[in-house]
Amino acid sequence: MKQSSLDALIAFYESLRPDSVAHFADYYAEDAFFKDPFNEVRGLAPIQRIFTHMFLQVSEPRFAISERIVDENGALLVWEFYFHLRLWGRDKAQVIRGVSHLKFNAEGKVNWHRDYWDAAEELYTKLPGIGWLMRRLKNAMTRESTR
């Protein structure tokens, strides 16, 4: 994996805008695999659809990469995803913290991308209604594990 490929990919994600989704082919292989807590797809077009959908679901999305761990076969990127979510007439700033595990092909393009983040902690507990239930469940489980 070339360091310049990783640097370019990080710059791409940190400046990602709706119109830049068309440029995923500059960084991802045509048959790339992508998985996160909600999606599992193969191919450039399905990956682009996921990110296009992201821009429709949230406002002001922004990735900030805080750490990278690199070896000859790939990289781990530690990131924060900032966005605004409108629910029940309220616009609320949110952040999700996670890690991306990336593998690159011989051309320096991503051919495997797996995102790891805790949907329960980072998203569900912040939602009205289901958040209350998730927090109660977490508290009950925490009490049980400390006995």
What residue ranges define each of the domains in the chain, with the CATH number in brackets? 3-116 (3.10.450.50), 118-147 (no CATH)
pLDDT at 104 over 70: yes
Higher pLDDT, 116 or 90: 116
Q: What is the DSSP letter of 21?
A: G
Q: Of 75, 64, 26, 66, give the one whose Cα is nearest residue 48.
A: 26
Write down the pLDDT at residue 97.
Answer: 94
Of 33-37, 44-48, 87-91, which range is least confident? 87-91
Q: For 59-83, what is each residue's pLDDT tens digit?
A: 999 999 999 999 988 999 999 999 9
Task: Give residue 49's pLDDT band: very low, low, confident or very high (50, 70, 90).
Answer: very high
Higher pLDDT, 107 or 144: 107
Task: Give residue 121's pLDDT band: very low, low, confident or very high (50, 70, 90).
Answer: low
Q: At 127, is the secondary structure helix, strand, or coil? A: coil
Task: Give residue 92's pLDDT band: very low, low, confident or very high (50, 70, 90).
Answer: confident
Other Cβ atoms closer than 10 A to 69: 11
Let me know: does 110 contact 103? Beta carbons within 8 Å.
yes
* Rounded Cα distance, 20 and 30, in Å: 17
Task: Give residue 118's pLDDT band: very low, low, confident or very high (50, 70, 90).
Answer: confident
Backbone angles phi, psi at 145, to 5 degrees: -75, -15
